Amino acid sequence: MARPKARLGPAATTRAGASRAARGKAIGLMLATLALAACGPSEASGAAGVAGPTAAIMPSEPSPSEPPLGSLPVGPTEAAHVVRIVDGDTIVVDRGRGPEKVRYIGMDTPETVDPDTPVEPFGEAATAANAALVAGADVVLERDVSDVDRYGRLLRYVWLRVTGPPSGWLMVDLELVREGYAQVATFPPDVRYVDLFVAAERAARDAGRGLWAGP
């Protein structure tokens, strides 16, 4: 004869229901944990609806800082030997194809050789300063945009390699402006260093050097 089933009282029924609910909640949490583990970090955080931990981004190696503009040639260059000094802003060079005139870019010095113009004040001093820098020297010619001017002269920035100390590069065009032997004269499109020339002339004026010396 089958034993009669025992009937649970209200308290027992409540405890049993709570126990089943707790087990169901535990199983649900376990399944959710397994599902999250199967996902990638970004998927898991998206499923949870909150931002998950982000991967640490290692900083890249810092790139070497670029040298200041005007501290070395940056355009197309070629080597040449200075054959003769014409005046403060023009020289004759040999690039391996015979003598050629080079007109410095970005500046102008007082006239000394134009047959239709008298020698201008400070012109001879500018010529002497140019000669002191490059007479008989091996130089590097840097091209901007134009190759020649309307007179067929090469348009170039002229650089000297300085062995130091300190060692480095010297742009002759800019140095003559900086020392007050020349003033800025720019003609687009050849304006790569125009800001440097303007600043150099301003400094020469403020210091009263060369052309800008007082009476």
Tokens 């909640």 sit at which residue? 25
HSE-up (13 A, CA, CB side) for residue 176? 34
95 catalytic residue (yes or no): no
Nearest Cα neighbor of 176 from 153, 161, 162, 196 is: 196
Is 179 in the active site?
A: no
The catalytically annotated residue of 103, 156, 178, 192 is 103
In angstroms, the CA 212 to CA 206 distance is 8
DSSP output for 107-157: EE---SS-TTSPPPTTHHHHHHHHHHHHTT-EEEEE--S-SB-TTS-EEEE
Q: Which of 78, 95, 100, 111 is catalytic?
A: 111
**Residue 61 designated active-site:** no
- The whole-angstrom separation of Cα 61 and Cα 15 is 64
Active-site residue, selected from the candidate residues 84, 95, 153, 205: 153
So which residues are the catalytic ones? 103, 111, 153
